[in-house]
Amino acid sequence: MAAKDQVKALVFDVFGTVVDWRGSSIRELNAFGNARGLKRDWDQFADDWRGLYQPGMEEVRSGRRPYTILDVLHRESLEKLLDKYEIAGLHEQDIQHLVTIWHRLEPWPDVVEGLTRLKRRYIIGTCSNANIGLAVRMAKHSGLPWDTIVGAEVARAYKPTPQAYIGTAAALNLEPHEVMLVAAHNSDLAAAAKTGFRTAFVARPTEYGPKKKADTAENTNWDVSTDSFNGVADAMGCPRI
Amino acid sequence: MAAKDQVKALVFDVFGTVVDWRGSSIRELNAFGNARGLKRDWDQFADDWRGLYQPGMEEVRSGRRPYTILDVLHRESLEKLLDKYEIAGLHEQDIQHLVTIWHRLEPWPDVVEGLTRLKRRYIIGTCSNANIGLAVRMAKHSGLPWDTIVGAEVARAYKPTPQAYIGTAAALNLEPHEVMLVAAHNSDLAAAAKTGFRTAFVARPTEYGPKKKADTAENTNWDVSTDSFNGVADAMGCPRI
């Protein structure tokens, strides 16, 4: 029996793997800028915002700060960038609109069909650093048919801390080897594999735009390696719709 | 603006409100008994099992025991009943089959249509004492289209402890007055209302079978009072399908 035959649930990294955070946020930031007559380098603003993602979580992972949901971290990093980009005088409603850009990210084109196929045979959920409130609104916005939202907030730990994966499996009444992480990032898959998770790599070559190279599956040994969620569904024996 | 106009999510009690725990478990217990040639009063067995539900959770609510998921409490109470009903020599697989009867409970006939209507306009989730693993399997078994599983395990507190409701609203990025609890039990609604939740009573007159009377909405003042999930959807302005 192949390792993947024991899998009962597939859980998904979200930012970059399920949704095109960069393209979606640049579109929203440009629309906001145009509506307000604010000319800024919004591509760079989006990259800078994402750049503050790991340092924000690291405060929690290191134990220097109690568990704090990602929406709060996104707001704090936004406030730093508004200062850096000299954008002043926004109303609370504008700030909320910008913070919730992360609730309205659009999926890659293969996502909804692939998830729909996988859902018929497996439990499917998130294993993201997104908080529940963020992930559930994104799901409604983009039609992502999760069975449930799990991941960091349920496990009270940010990836790649082992507890983020172990707690996700436990919340589903499963052992780590019964859960497969689907992700576009080798470091995420490597951390999950260390806890016993099965692994599926999905290449998202345009995640970071033209300037930064995305991960490839080269030199790694994941249980599945493909370039779409339909590829994952094929590998996991889910019939085409 | 009516109180219910501020509602952004509806969360549901599950045992008795969404699913007919008594009818479903009696059917499963009879099937198990017939297959094994075990003659017992399975109606009474089901009522006794449910009777051990509150005392099991009370150990956690009182602080005498750390938070323990409902599947574990169900197994412990099952083991007491196997002793009481003199059923010995079951294999681990049989015990698992019996414990997971609670994963396979069937919904009342109006549930899936009502939830489907509500889901188009609101976030819908569980606010049950069921653990995530139980609730997600029940959802897949019975086609319950939750946006996500919240409730006791996410809040780390059993209803009717206030934290069970407050933690559920917080996990959805909502204030208590933006969340409506839908339940067939006045005590659950009363506890939720004290934390600021909006309330919808759904009568389930046959929940306890012929011997014990179910709750009615008399002498209470809930925001919505009806006898089906379609009635909740009507009251919340959701178009018919």
Tell me the nearest-neighbour CA distance from A176 into chain B, angstroms: 14
Nearest CA in chain B to A139: B147
Residue-level pLDDT at A219: 76
B241 pLDDT above the threshold of 90: no
The shortest CB-CB distance from A148 to any of B71, B123, B149 is to B149
Task: Please give the CATH topology (third level) of the domain spanning B3-20+106-235.
Answer: Rossmann fold (3.40.50)
Residues of chain A in contact with residue B139, where contact means CB-CB under 8 angstroms, are 147-148
ipTM of the complex: 0.95
Nearest to B181 by CA among B122, B132, B105: B122
The listed CATH number (1.10.150.530, 3.40.50.2000, 1.10.150.240, 1.10.3720.10) that belongs to domain A21-103: 1.10.150.240
Q: Is A68 left (phi over 0), alpha (psi -120 to 50) or beta?
A: beta
The shortest CB-CB distance from B173 to any of A133, A147, A171 is to A133
* pLDDT band at B1; cut points 50, 70, 90: low
Instruction: Tell me whether residues A136 and B125 touch, CB distance under 8 A.
Output: yes
B3-20+106-235 and B21-103: same fold?
no
Residue-level pLDDT at B219: 76
| Helix/strand/coil (H/E/C) assignment for every residue in chain B | CCHHHHCCEEEECCECCCECHHHHHHHHHHHHHHHHCCCCCHHHHHHHHHHCHHHHHHHHHCCCCCCCCHHHHHHHHHHHHHHHCCCCCCCHHHHHHHHHHHHCCCECCCHHHHHHHHHCCCEEEECCCCCHHHHHHHHHHHCCCCCEECCHHHHCCCCCCHHHHHHHHHHCCCCHHHEEEEECCHHHHHHHHHCCCEEEEECCCCCCCCCCCCCCCCCCCCCEEECCHHHHHHHCCCCCC
Nearest CA in chain A to B156: A154
Task: Tell me the pLDDT of chain B averaged across its residues.
Answer: 96
Tell me the nearest-neighbour CA distance from B241 into chain A, angstroms: 18
Amino acid at A4: K
Residue extents of the structural domains in chain B = 3-20+106-235, 21-103
A174 pLDDT above the threshold of 90: yes
DSSP state of A17: T
Residue-level pLDDT at B4: 84
Tell me the per-residue pLDDT of A9-46, one tens digit each, with 9 for 90 and over: 999 999 999 999 999 999 999 999 999 999 999 999 99
- CATH architecture designation of domain A3-20+105-235: 3-Layer(aba) Sandwich (3.40)
Residue-level pLDDT at B79: 98
Residues of chain B in contact with residue A131, where contact means CB-CB under 8 angstroms, are 171, 173
Residues of chain A in contact with residue B8, where contact means CB-CB under 8 angstroms, are none
Inter-residue contact B19 to B206 (CB < 8 Å): no
Taking the CA atoms of residue B26, residue B31, residue B35 and residue B37 in that order, the dihedral angle to the nearest 10 degrees is 40
Q: How far apart, in whole angstroms, are the C-alpha atoms of residue A8 and residue A15?
A: 23
Tell me the per-residue pLDDT of B94-142, one tens digit each, with 9 for 90 and over: 999 999 999 999 999 999 999 999 999 999 999 999 999 999 999 999 9
Tell me the nearest-neighbour CA distance from B223 into chain A, angstroms: 24
Taking the CA atoms of residue A96, residue A102, residue A104 and residue A110 in that order, the dihedral angle to the nearest 10 degrees is 180
The shortest CB-CB distance from B148 to any of A123, A148, A172 is to A148
Tell me the nearest-neighbour CA distance from A94 into chain B, angstroms: 18
Residues of chain A in contact with residue B120, where contact means CB-CB under 8 angstroms, are none
Stated pTM of the model: 0.96
Nearest CA in chain A to B172: A133
pLDDT above 70: percentage of residues in chain B: 100
Tell me the per-residue pLDDT of A187-211, one tens digit each, with 9 for 90 and over: 999 999 999 999 999 999 999 998 8
Tell me the per-residue pLDDT of A100-153, one tens digit each, with 9 for 90 and over: 999 999 999 999 999 999 999 999 999 999 999 999 999 999 999 999 999 999
Half-sphere exposure of A126 (CA within 13 A, CB side): 33
